[in-house]
């Protein structure tokens, strides 16, 4: 075979191979990369839209009372007693009780002098007389207050043989 014939055969084979490659590319293979790009973008968009729709669709509404003759519950006293190493403070939603526990004002309600638990019981008795429906008090003790003093304060707030005062004493963490 001559050189010219070989060259023609090679060109024909090359054309045939190129035609097969073009046919394979156009026939069956599908590139999914653009499809994945679109799907990822749609998912991100839908997630962002869903969170915005959730925020925009919240509606603040008060439900009506279950009956027409019902009265709303009176506001809570939120009575809090704070025992420190030298003082006892009594406070509620109306303010802090002044020394003597008769009015609101500044300063500790009781100074610890050895008779503080009787004074705390008298103070609790006055508060309970003004708010007879209240049964809850929060007791907070400074970390330096001995455990026995915390228990004595709980006992004073609960009452004595003369009557029950605040039977639901909740302990709160002492803050320094």
Q: Where are the domains of the chain?
A: 3-56, 79-172
Confidence tier at 108 by pLDDT (50, 70, 90): confident
Confidence tier at 99 by pLDDT (50, 70, 90): confident
Higher-pLDDT residue of 66, 93: 93
pLDDT digit string, tens, across residues 5-27: 888 889 999 998 888 887 766 66
Over residues 32-60, the mean pLDDT reads 79
pLDDT digit string, tens, across residues 111-168: 888 778 888 898 899 888 888 888 899 998 888 888 898 899 999 999 888 888 888 8
pLDDT at 42 over 90: yes
Could you tell me which residues come within 8 angstroms of residue 85 by beta carbon, excluding any fewer than 6 positions away?
Answer: 112, 142, 144, 145
- What's the mean per-residue pLDDT of the chain? 82
Q: CATH number of 79-172: 3.40.1350, 3.30.420, 3.30.70, 1.25.40? A: 3.30.420
Lowest mean pLDDT among 1-5, 6-10, 48-52: 48-52
Pairing mode, strands 159-160 and 79-83:
unpaired
The answer to whether residues 150 and 81 touch, using CB atoms and an 8 Å cutoff, is: no
């Amino acid at each position: 075979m001559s050189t010219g014939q070989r060259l023609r055969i090679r060109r024909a084979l090359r054309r045939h191979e190129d035609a097969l490659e073009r046919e394979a590319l156009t026939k069956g293979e599908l590139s999914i990369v653009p499809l994945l790009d679109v799907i990822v973008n749609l998912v991100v968009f839908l997630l962002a839209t869903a969170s915005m729709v959730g925020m925009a669709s919240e509606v603040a509404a008060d439900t009506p009372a279950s009956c027409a003759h019902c009265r709303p519950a009176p506001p809570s006293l939120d009575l809090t007693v704070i025992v420190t190493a030298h003082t006892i403070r009594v406070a509620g939603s109306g303010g802090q009780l002044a020394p003597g526990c008769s009015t609101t004002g500044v300063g500790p309600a009781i100074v610890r002098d050895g008779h503080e638990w009787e004074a705390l019981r008298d103070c609790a008795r006055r508060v309970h007389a003004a708010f007879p429906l209240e049964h809850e008090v929060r007791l907070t003790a400074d970390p330096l207050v001995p455990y026995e003093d915390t228990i004595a304060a709980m006992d004073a707030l609960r009452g004595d043989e003369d009557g029950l005062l605040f039977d639901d004493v909740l302990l709160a963490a002492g803050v320094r």
